[in-house]
Amino acid sequence: MSTVIAAPRTPQITTKLPAVGTTIFTVMSALAAEKNAVNLGQGFPDFGCDPKLLQAVTDAMAAGHNQYPPMPGVLPLRNAIASKVEALYGHRYSAADEITITAGATQAIITAILAVVRPGDEVIVLEPCYDSYVPNIELAGGTVVRVPLTPGTFRPDFDKIADALTPRTRAIIINTPHNPSATVWTDAEMRRLEDLLAPTEVLVIADEVYEHMVYAPLRHESVARYPDLAARSFIVSSFGKTYHVTGWKVGYVAAPAPLTAEFRKVHQFNVFTVNTPMQHALAQFMTDPAPYLELPAFYQRKRDLFAAGLAKTRLRLLPSQGTYFQCVDISGVSDLSESEFCLWLTGEIGVAAIPLSAFYGDGFDQRVVRFCFAKKDETLLSALERLARL
């Protein structure tokens, strides 16, 4: 009598994120590679960082900075961040108790959400928004409350935000400079938010990863400039964006000590520490503020180069006030949906872009797509040569 051996079986699970699949960024980058297209979709530079920063990493490793750093990050880097924030925005955070080094901004955002959001809490997101916000809230057991930015201008609609506030609202996530629209919040808008939240217990998670990419005559209105906002906010920023090293995945969070204490409780168990030699290198590199102070002019030149070429096509440029993104209205070029247009553009024209509908929960289509101009000049010129066919 033979024995039947059951095949190995993987137990079934119920997904925590049923709506999550492959991101549009992965899809478009893969298609760009397949079609040999110029990839202006995913937001990362195709040029290197300052060689001095690479040398600082080598020096840090040679100096023996290769073991675990302190859980909140090495103190020289936290001191450098505290000094930078105070110099730029006039608010002094304690390096010891109010600044934490993170494994990039994405980890910072989910850690802040997990630290303060409990099942049943509501969190307001302003759409279109970065694609990690909603899954992060859902993983924490929170309820996502979607409030649209004004279509076309992408300004915050404070009447709609006010209507969305309830006794269950735990937090609101704001993002300025804004990905994907490239808009920048004004002083008046920040003060309106400050007034709106003043009588509430609502926290703010401020995604400020593009803080050093705001174009004249505007300035970055960090929540750190506004005392009543700073007192209730986690500020998230990114060295990867600022220093052209997105693959390093190093960022930070600044928040009042009580909020930081809760943040670090989660941080120590979801990542614990962040790459040691990179931290020491960044601390050394930050002794010279020129790289981040000169960054707006660096990217504004690229924006203007790219915009001048796009102006010769039938694409209609939307304002690019900050970030390294340029949005365009495709209505004068095609009747296709945003997603279909991006597929067509990649396959037939040889340039990859991202549909703004990917940043909305309901796929809202307003005939707008996003290009990334954080590229070498020759990359941008190659893309413009192809886009001239439009």
Coil vs helix vs strand at 29: helix
pLDDT per residue as tens digits for the range 267-323:
999 999 999 999 999 999 999 999 999 999 999 999 999 999 999 999 999 999 999
Q: Pick from 358, 273, 332, 289: which is nearest to 28 by CA?
A: 358
CB-CB contact of 257 with 86 (8 Å): no
CB-CB contact of 223 with 229 (8 Å): yes
Task: Tell me the fold of 24-43+293-387.
Answer: Aspartate Aminotransferase, domain 1 (3.90.1150)
Per-domain boundaries in the chain? 24-43+293-387, 52-288
27 band by pLDDT with thresholds 50, 70 and 90: confident
Cα atoms found within 13 Å of the Cα of residue 261, Cβ hemisphere only: 2
Chain-centre distance for alpha carbon 371: 15
Q: Give Cα separations from 211 to 20, 102, 123 (angstroms).
A: 29, 17, 23
CB-CB contact of 321 with 178 (8 Å): no
pLDDT per residue as tens digits for the range 110-137:
999 999 999 999 999 999 999 999 999 9
- Secondary structure element (H or E) that encloses residue 360, with its range: none
Residue 101 tokens read as 């080094």
pLDDT per residue as tens digits for the range 160-201:
999 999 999 999 999 999 999 999 999 999 999 999 999 999
Q: What DSSP state is assigned to residue 149? A: P
Domains 24-43+293-387 and 52-288 fall in the same CATH topology:
no
Report the pLDDT value the prediction gives residue 21, as an integer from 0 to 100.
Answer: 80
pLDDT per residue as tens digits for the range 51-86:
999 999 999 999 999 999 999 999 999 999 999 999
pLDDT of 157 over the 80 cut: yes
> What are the backbone dihedrals phi and psi of residue 139, each rounded to the nearest 5 degrees, phi first?
-65, -30
The end-to-end CA distance of the chain, in Å, is: 73
Report the pLDDT value the prediction gives residue 338, as an integer from 0 to 100.
Answer: 97
CB-CB contact of 236 with 207 (8 Å): yes
Task: Tell me the fold of 52-288.
Answer: Aspartate Aminotransferase; domain 2 (3.40.640)
> What are the backbone dihedrals phi and psi of residue 367, each rounded to the nearest 5 degrees, phi first?
65, 40
Full-model pTM = 0.96
pLDDT per residue as tens digits for the range 354-387:
999 999 999 999 999 999 999 999 999 999 999 9
Report the pLDDT value the prediction gives residue 24, as an integer from 0 to 100.
Answer: 78
**What pairs with residue 14 in β-bridges?**
none
